[in-house]
Amino acid sequence: MEDLVELVFGTFPSWSHLVVRVALGIVFFAHGAQKTFGWFGGRGLSATIAGFRQMGIPPAATAMAAVVECFGGLAMLAGFLARPAALGLIVVMLVAVSKVHAKHGFFLNFALVPGQGHGYEFNLVLIAMALSILIGGAGLLSIDRLIAPLGG
């Protein structure tokens, strides 16, 4: 049981993981809240489902991705269940790359060329950040650290 607690909640006393976790939490909570609740200029879940359906993504998968982004972002901000949340966020980004972004190449479409979507570079950065949390935990100032501190 102790190994399971360490696997789920374990975290090192890292300031760098705190910084990565909070930035990741802000990005995912904001985007997830747009998709789920229509906050921050988003369209809400019904419109998100309709838009994703046009890309061949089933409604249940769309709803799950929106919820994982929103509440995974909150988990990152609180530093609670950060490792499982990081895994969920990685899966959502891998699906986004495979279903949407890979066909547009690596780079974002900064020139906003019509008919050309964004590449996967931003997704890659988010995956790397989430992988950092998955490997090392939430870092300092996290609920996970109160439950299962590693090292120092």
35, 48 contact by CB (below 8 A): yes
Give me the chain's average pLDDT, please.
94
Domain ranges, ordered by start, for the chain:
12-145
Question: Is the pTM of the predicted complex or chain greater than 0.85?
Answer: yes
Tens digit of each residue's pLDDT (9 = 90 or more) over 5-58: 999 999 989 999 999 999 999 999 999 999 999 999 999 999 999 999 998 899
Amino acid identity of residue 29, one-letter, is F
Q: What pLDDT score does 110 carry?
A: 83
10 and 134 Cβ atoms separated by less than 8 Å: no
Q: Is the C-alpha dihedral spanning 66, 72, 78, 81 positive or negative?
A: positive
